[in-house]
Amino acid sequence: MTARAVRERPLRIGLLTYKGNPYCGGQGVYVRHLSRELARLGHTVEVIGAQPYPVLDEHPGLTLTELPSLDLYRQPDPFRTPARHEYRDWVDALEVAAMWTGGFPEPLTFSLRARRHLAARRGAFDVIHDNQTLGYGLLGGARALGAPLVTTIHHPVTVDRRLELAAAAAEGWKRRLSVRRWYGFTRMQQRVARRLPSVLTVSGSSRQEIVDDLGVRPDRVHVVPIGADTELFAPDPAVPEVPGRIVTTSSADVPLKGLVYLVEALAKARAERPEAHLVVVGKRPEEGPVAAAMERYGLADGAVEFVKGISDAELAALVRGAQVACVPSLYEGFSLPAAEAMATGTPLLATTGGAIPEVAGQDGETCLAVPPGDAGALAAGLVRLLGDPGLRTRLGAAGRERILSRFTWERAARGTVERYRAAMDAGASASAASRPLPRPPAEAAPAVAERA
């Protein structure tokens, strides 16, 4: 086999994800689409995940191995106490103890289970790819895991921690203490990240946050942008626009998503565009800042609608019918909702928080861009887009072209494979360097002495 053939041979990839729900959060979406595109490139991909288990597309060479936790946060009984017969080992006991004391144990306990699983299957994979677990169990390199490790960090969770602590400042010391305890696992993630040989991330903004917040050496962090499913999220002239529809994907209970500012902006915009209404892809809050803002501005009865549990096809249809897609986040490590909206040809109004400008492009060219946390600027953007069909058409077309040229899952998969092969080469070089030099044959010793 030639050196080129060895270099280009299909890989056996173990893709780890401690949380794989594709309908809640970007990690499950990442695993689903990346695994599919890696398989399409001819590689064998085994996704190893815990509850909620990933939902994968059907493709030869793509399989799911379930590595169950105790699933302590499942609905409808989150923070449950397991029955005695559910405990299998000390890792289960650790998981429950951490939950009882207000912590979030899943990154640590999944990493310990994954380490044990991989050690028992040494040689099954050419490379291990961890999707932001960053647990102690994944340290030790190929000797411990059986193959070189590559880790994706979408963005440091320390950013979420900072923003939640700021939001909790007005709620008293008990709330702040609770937030600090919940995010206690970020200390582990900082320690682990600094010891990783190869880190992937999805944007230049996230790369800088990883260097600054986690202390990872810059030469170890590599940007491989992700993308949208441009076949599913595509324009469809047969779908009519719904007058005044604004759509966003947001978690109301996550401050960094900025939904409360969009609710306030909607109230302001309706003074000039009374047909304006918001569809939020996410769970309706029963309490908290978003629920309070809806009540305060009189938007609770129809002006804001929440939908959840919809399929990708239903999401694409919802976005196509909108006159405006909005990303009001205070910070994003990439922003899949922005990429998907742009791919459908729906005009985008977005903040400049985090990596969003890297995805959305220039204000007035491929989107309208406003400062994060500015409800007035969001309102002005909504009014402008809702009142200008020509601007909507121009931004929508330019936005789709940007996504097609820069942010597709096939491009993401090819870039990821390049990092896999680089990690494998580095591992092979390190292994060769650590191997003892061969001793000269015994009969050669006299000749060496004579030459000396």
Place 5 in a pLDDT band, splitting at 50, 70 and 90: low
Distance CA 220, CA 200 (A): 8
Examine the pLDDT at 106 and tell me if it is beyond 60.
yes
- DSSP three-state, residue 90: helix
Q: Which residue has the higher pLDDT, 52 or 434?
A: 52
Q: State the DSSP code for 22.
A: T
Predicted confidence (pLDDT) per residue in 290-348, tens digit: 999 999 999 988 899 999 888 889 999 999 999 999 999 999 999 999 999 999 999 99
Instruction: Tell me phi and psi for residue 329, to 5 degrees.
Output: -60, 145
For residues 83, 86, 87 and 92, what is the CA-based torsion angle, rounded to 10 degrees? -100
Common-topology check for domains 11-227+408-425 and 245-406:
yes
Residues 142-171, mean pLDDT to the nearest whole number: 90
pLDDT of res. 450:
40
In terms of residues, how long is the chain?
452
Place 26 in a pLDDT band, splitting at 50, 70 and 90: confident
pLDDT of res. 442:
54
Residues 21-31, mean pLDDT to the nearest whole number: 76
Sheet with 44-49, strands from edge to edge, namely: 62-66, 44-49, 12-17, 127-131, 149-152, 199-201, 221-223
Examine the pLDDT at 220 and tell me if it is beyond 80.
yes
Predicted confidence (pLDDT) per residue in 373-417, tens digit: 999 999 999 999 999 999 999 999 999 999 999 999 999 999 999
For the chain, how big is the Rg over CA atoms in Å? 25
Q: Where are the domains of the chain?
A: 11-227+408-425, 245-406
Place 173 in a pLDDT band, splitting at 50, 70 and 90: confident
pLDDT of res. 448:
40
Examine the pLDDT at 447 and tell me if it is beyond 50.
no
Would you tell me which CATH number, out of the four given (3.30.530.20, 2.40.170.20, 3.40.50.2000, 3.40.50.2300), belongs to the domain 245-406? Answer: 3.40.50.2000
Average the pLDDT over each of 229-238, 265-274, 282-291 and give the range with the smallest value. Answer: 282-291
In DSSP notation, 143-195 reads HHHSS-EEEE-SS-HHHHHHHHHHHHGGG-HHHHHHHHHHTTHHHHHHHHHHT
Predicted confidence (pLDDT) per residue in 90-103, tens digit: 999 999 999 999 99
Hey, which residues does 331 pair with through a beta bridge? none
Examine the pLDDT at 206 and tell me if it is beyond 70.
yes
Residues 431-441, mean pLDDT to the nearest whole number: 60
Examine the pLDDT at 452 and tell me if it is beyond 50.
no
Examine the pLDDT at 24 and tell me if it is beyond 60.
no
Hey, which residues does 348 pair with through a beta bridge? 325
C-alpha closest to that of 11 among 61, 64, 49, 67:
61
Sequence-distant (6+) residues with CB within 8 A of 326 are 246, 247, 248, 262, 348, 349, 350, 378, 382
Would you tell me which CATH number, out of the four given (3.40.50.2000, 3.40.50.300, 1.10.10.10, 3.90.550.10), belongs to the domain 11-227+408-425? Answer: 3.40.50.2000
Q: Is the dihedral of CA 66, 70, 73, 75 positive or negative?
A: positive
